[in-house]
Amino acid sequence: MTKENGFSVIGKALPKPDAVSKVTGRAIYADDMLPARTLHCRILRSPHPHARILSIDTSAARRMPGVHAVITGADLPIKFGILPVTQDERALEHEKVRYVGDPIAAIAAVDEEIAAAACDAISVEYEVLEPVMSIDEALAESKDERIQDYGGPNNIHKLVALEFGDVDGGFEKADHIREDVLFFQGNTHLPMEQHSAIATFVDGRVTLWSSTQVVHYVHRALAKVLELPMNRIRVIGAAHGGGFGGKTDPFAHEIIVCKLAMLTGRPVKCTLTREEVFYAHRGRHPVLMWVRSGVTRDGRITAMHFKTALDGGAYGSYGVASTFYTGALQTVTYDIPAYRFEGCRVFTNKPPCGPKRGHGTPQPRFAMELHLEKIAHDLGIDPVDLKQRNFVKPMTRTVNWLRVTSCGLDECTERVMTASGYRIRERRRGRGMGFAISSYLSGAGTAIYWNDMPHSEVQIKVDRGGVTAYCGAMDIGQGSDSVLAAIVAEELGLQPRDIRLVTADTDTTPIDLGSYSSRVTFMAGNAALQAARKMRGMLVDAVEAKMGGAEAVRVGAGRIGDFTFEEASILAEARFGTLTSAGSYTPPKIAGPFKGSGVGPSPAYSYSACVVDLDADPRTGIVHVNKVWIAHDVGRAINPLLVEGQVEGSIYMGLGEALMEEQAFRKGLHKWPSMLEYKSPTFMDTPEVETFIVETVDPEGPYGAKEAGQGPLLPVIPAVSSAVFDALGVWIDEIPVTPEKIVEALRRKQKGQPARYGPERFPSIPYPACIKVEPPPRDLDTNAAAASI
């Protein structure tokens, strides 16, 4: 059983605990639930991108046979929002709508068709306002009125300006300075499962089953808007059909079904149509970026100045955090001695943007990797060499105070360089390779709402030989249940199949802040490890007492010392009473001493390196990706099968963003709110991927593990654009890299214009004066880190 790594479960490629229920169609997703007497909910949504609501007449809808309840914003007036600083959403708007799809009224009826017909019977009188549809329009004075009544000037939501170290001095030291402007178009998560929620109201208590990534945040929002104490609300995560960040906010439909269940006394279900899923959005922000770097002759970065402008859509969502993230992690891969970041998020009349896989960091990662490629070309240095010369080192602090522990950048780079043959590649017009690296958080170091409590908690119960682990973590398909089961099994000398899991239920499980920010393996994993070690301690104590303490008690292969696990649990229960243990994880307080330092710190960062090989047709601009090599430093693979799955899924999603996916608008309307027109990669579009798992054994991760679900997406996108340059000699400074952009760039090159396609200018933004922050002392963590290894 025991592998050469000394573990019996950790590091083994085991199937997921719920694999059979998923391949047999037995997993129960929210829309699969249909309790007796269920009413169906449909939501009336705004047809206008920006309008004042003058009146809503629901009388005809109320009279329709089969309609049980009709609600409007007046029934749910309390505002909510994921971040405490942006409580700007209502479940239903009754004063103003801010994007096409903004919810206005909701119906509960005996079937969906009647509910839909009743929606049609509601008449709403609007005063249509001029929509604000771009970053430039949002920065200018509004033609009618501002979208939100906070932020500003104009439709600016948030401005950030931070400076670390001596940036001007750094530019003075540079031998070469380069500026680039780049744009990353927005895109959406497109989970296969449409959002769905079903609520009941029994004995004065609301129960909601939802397709959510974070039961806890939904719980908080429900308590606020429904004005019920949290102990009268129960939120359960149903089997989850894909999130990628898109089900991390509390959503209007989740609140609406609860309210309708309270009013009707019957179960109420709402499943969004695919078109509505495009309006729920919270996806990748479109970001316009300007970057200026100074480098020495040999390519060492002396200073960097990075400016971003995010098109946020109509509401706050995670946007304040997203804004900081567009400037936070540049320093985590490259040693930048002086760094200035200015960020701006604007409101526009579009569905709100929020977190999508990589939250706020794929856009600047694209910009920075391409920018460094161009600097390398300016200097005549191989871009891989230039990047490698600037790699951060393990056990350091970045200039913006981020603590780097384990870092496998060098090994990741070497693995993909060797496997792909990048350095000895054939040079031929139309064929190219691109290289890029990245890094991502293993969970955010600070919680979304300020508190000192743990970010994850696990309880374990052992009873008659049966082990149950309880944790609020939500398995969204990434395999968080596998991680919990593997860790508890490893510590107790069992197999994952021996562990029963109870997860993502606010009544029965202790807190976990949810499946976002790549936090579950690291945080819930550490909590599970602590709880399991306590339980193991009790079992070993009881066995030791029975055996007389003559020899050390060995735990493994279903045995504890001379006893089976079941016998040992009986001994322990007789000795200690009810066998329960608890563990929790609170990230270390490592944020820097400045306002805004809460976004960026993580207890550990994953690292990835990637090479993309592609053909780009100079006549048509059509790109065919031949192969992707990716090496990912996951710290330690708790389950290599699932790590590979996360890495391959990230590559696929990154290729979709790089080459085709766009959440774009025309005249206030989403251009393509359907799966057919919103192009995403099919089996035919997705190349073979060769994955290398690099293990650096992080000092703080559970068994050394770090994240795997988001980081590997990041390098793919710049690697595609670099490969197109390698193939055709034109820079596509705008994501997605579509055939028409390539053809246009080639046309410009032929005419002697700059051989690129991308934005020409970065707008003038009234950033405030930078908060100047001294870099951290060089030896800040040396002693602490050394002690913990």
Partner 1 sequence: MRVCLESYARRIVRNEMARDVERLVVALHVNGERTELLLPVHKTLLEVLREDMQLTGTKHGCELGECGTCTVLVEGKPELSCLVLPVQVEGRAITTIEGMASGSELHPLQQAFAELGAAQCGYCTPGILLAAKSLLESNATPSRDEIREALAGNLCRCTGYSKIVDAIELAGGRMK
Start-to-end C-alpha separation, the chain = 27
User: Can residue 692 be called a binding residue for partner 1 (CB under 8 A)?
Assistant: no
User: Can residue 284 be called a binding residue for partner 1 (CB under 8 A)?
Assistant: no
Calpha distance 707→10 (Å, rounded): 15
User: Can residue 269 be called a binding residue for partner 1 (CB under 8 A)?
Assistant: no
| Residue closer to partner 1, measured from CB, 205 or 274 | 274
**Residue 491 in contact with residue 643, Cβ under 8 Å?**
no
| Residue closer to partner 1, measured from CB, 308 or 606 | 606
Provide the minimum distance between the beta carbon of 38 and partner 1 in the complex, in angstroms, as a whole number: 9
Crossing angle of helices 716-728 and 640-659, rounded to 10°: 50
Window contacting partner 1 (CB under 8 A); options: 224-232, 242-250, 601-609, 697-705: 242-250
If DSSP codes are grouped into helix, strand and coil, which group holds residue 176? Answer: strand
**Residue 386 in contact with residue 379, Cβ under 8 Å?**
yes
Provide the minimum distance between the beta carbon of 567 and partner 1 in the complex, in angstroms, as a whole number: 30
- Name the one residue in this structure whose structure tokens are 């991680």: 483
User: Can residue 111 be called a binding residue for partner 1 (CB under 8 A)?
Assistant: yes
Q: What residue type is assigned to position 537 of the chain? A: G
| Residue closer to partner 1, measured from CB, 242 or 510 | 242
Provide the minimum distance between the beta carbon of 96 and partner 1 in the complex, in angstroms, as a whole number: 31
Provide the minimum distance between the beta carbon of 701 and partner 1 in the complex, in angstroms, as a whole number: 21
Pick from 326, 404, 314, 356: which is nearest to 602 by CA? 404
User: Can residue 787 be called a binding residue for partner 1 (CB under 8 A)?
Assistant: no
User: Binding string, 6-35, against partner 1, x = CB under 8 A?
Assistant: -------x-xx-xxxxxxxxxxxx-xx-x-
Member of 89, 648, 662, 726 binding partner 1 (CB under 8 A): 648
DSSP codes of every residue in 452-493? -S-SEEEEEEEETTEEEEEE----SSS-HHHHHHHHHHHHHT
Q: For residue 34, what are the CA distances in angstroms to 200, 267, 556?
A: 11, 8, 43
- Considering only residues 473-502, where is the footprint of partner 1 by CB under 8 A? 476-479
Secondary structure string (H, E, C) spanning 552-616: CCCEECCEECCEEHHHHHHHHHHHHCCEEEEEEECCCCCCCCCCCCCCCCCCCEEEEEEEEEEEE
| Residue closer to partner 1, measured from CB, 154 or 273 | 273
Q: CA geometry: angle at 357 spanning 353 and 363, to 5°?
A: 70
Pick from 717, 723, 746, 614: which is nearest to 659 by CA? 717
- Considering only residues 562-601, where is the footprint of partner 1 by CB under 8 A? none
Q: What residue type is assigned to position 341 of the chain? A: F
Pick from 530, 158, 568: which is nearest to 344 by CA? 158
Calpha distance 400→775 (Å, rounded): 6
Q: How many helices (H) and strands (E) does the chain have?
A: 20, 34
Calpha distance 345→368 (Å, rounded): 19
User: Can residue 769 be called a binding residue for partner 1 (CB under 8 A)?
Assistant: no
Q: For residue 734, what are the CA distances in angstroms to 289, 366, 763?
A: 10, 9, 16
Provide the minimum distance between the beta carbon of 642 and partner 1 in the complex, in angstroms, as a whole number: 6
Window contacting partner 1 (CB under 8 A); options: 223-231, 375-383, 675-683, 700-708: 675-683
Member of 61, 115, 182, 239 binding partner 1 (CB under 8 A): 239
| Residue closer to partner 1, measured from CB, 326 or 639 | 639
Give the largest CA-CA distance in the chain: 89
| Residue closer to partner 1, measured from CB, 243 or 286 | 243
| Residue closer to partner 1, measured from CB, 65 or 380 | 65
Q: For residue 127, what are the CA distances in angstroms to 55, 76, 144, 206?
A: 10, 22, 11, 36
User: Can residue 241 be called a binding residue for partner 1 (CB under 8 A)?
Assistant: yes
| Residue closer to partner 1, measured from CB, 218 or 628 | 628
User: Can residue 419 be called a binding residue for partner 1 (CB under 8 A)?
Assistant: no
Provide the minimum distance between the beta carbon of 646 and partner 1 in the complex, in angstroms, as a whole number: 8
Calpha distance 333→440 (Å, rounded): 9
User: Can residue 675 be called a binding residue for partner 1 (CB under 8 A)?
Assistant: yes
User: Binding string, 124-163, against partner 1, x = CB under 8 A?
Assistant: ----------------------------------------
| Residue closer to partner 1, measured from CB, 27 or 770 | 27
Member of 424, 550, 684, 769 binding partner 1 (CB under 8 A): 684
User: Can residue 680 be called a binding residue for partner 1 (CB under 8 A)?
Assistant: yes
- Considering only residues 180-219, where is the footprint of partner 1 by CB under 8 A? 189-194
The strand pair at 771-773 and 156-164 is best described as parallel
Give, as one character, the DSSP assignment of residue 89. B
Q: Which tokens go with 478?
A: 């990434």
Provide the minimum distance between the beta carbon of 215 and partner 1 in the complex, in angstroms, as a whole number: 16
| Residue closer to partner 1, measured from CB, 104 or 114 | 114
Member of 94, 98, 240, 356 binding partner 1 (CB under 8 A): 240
Question: How many residues interact with partner 1 (rule CB under 8 A)?
Answer: 61
Calpha distance 496→490 (Å, rounded): 8
User: Can residue 615 be called a binding residue for partner 1 (CB under 8 A)?
Assistant: no
Window contacting partner 1 (CB under 8 A); options: 85-93, 235-243, 460-468, 734-742: 235-243
Q: For residue 427, what are the CA distances in angstroms to 270, 433, 725, 729?
A: 55, 9, 12, 12
Q: Which tokens go with 321?
A: 């955090």
Within 10 Å of residue 595's Cβ, how many Cβ atoms?
A: 10
Q: What is the dihedral of CA 736, 742, 747, 749, to 10 degrees?
A: 90
**Residue 615 in contact with residue 622, Cβ under 8 Å?**
no
User: Can residue 608 be called a binding residue for partner 1 (CB under 8 A)?
Assistant: no
Q: Which tokens go with 593?
A: 């001493």
Member of 424, 550, 676, 769 binding partner 1 (CB under 8 A): 676
Window contacting partner 1 (CB under 8 A); options: 96-104, 257-265, 317-325, 680-688: 680-688
Give, as one character, the DSSP assignment of residue 80. B
**Residue 289 in contact with residue 184, Cβ under 8 Å?**
yes
| Residue closer to partner 1, measured from CB, 242 or 699 | 242
| Residue closer to partner 1, measured from CB, 616 or 642 | 642
Calpha distance 291→308 (Å, rounded): 9
User: Can residue 274 be called a binding residue for partner 1 (CB under 8 A)?
Assistant: yes
User: Can residue 689 be called a binding residue for partner 1 (CB under 8 A)?
Assistant: yes
- Considering only residues 34-93, where is the footprint of partner 1 by CB under 8 A? 34, 65-66
Provide the minimum distance between the beta carbon of 40 and partner 1 in the complex, in angstroms, as a whole number: 10
| Residue closer to partner 1, measured from CB, 128 or 675 | 675
Calpha distance 647→628 (Å, rounded): 11
Q: Which tokens go with 140?
A: 């200018």
Pick from 174, 47, 70: which is nearest to 117 by CA? 70
| Residue closer to partner 1, measured from CB, 33 or 771 | 33
User: Binding string, 311-350, against partner 1, x = CB under 8 A?
Assistant: ----------------------------------------
User: Can residue 114 be called a binding residue for partner 1 (CB under 8 A)?
Assistant: yes
User: Can residue 631 be called a binding residue for partner 1 (CB under 8 A)?
Assistant: no
User: Can residue 650 be called a binding residue for partner 1 (CB under 8 A)?
Assistant: yes
Member of 131, 165, 242, 354 binding partner 1 (CB under 8 A): 242
| Residue closer to partner 1, measured from CB, 414 or 685 | 685
Calpha distance 272→111 (Å, rounded): 14
| Residue closer to partner 1, measured from CB, 357 or 374 | 357
Contact positions toward partner 1, by CB under 8 A? 13, 15-16, 18-29, 31-32, 34, 65-66, 110-111, 114, 189-194, 239-244, 273-274, 476-479, 641-642, 644-645, 648-653, 674-676, 680, 682-684, 686, 688-689
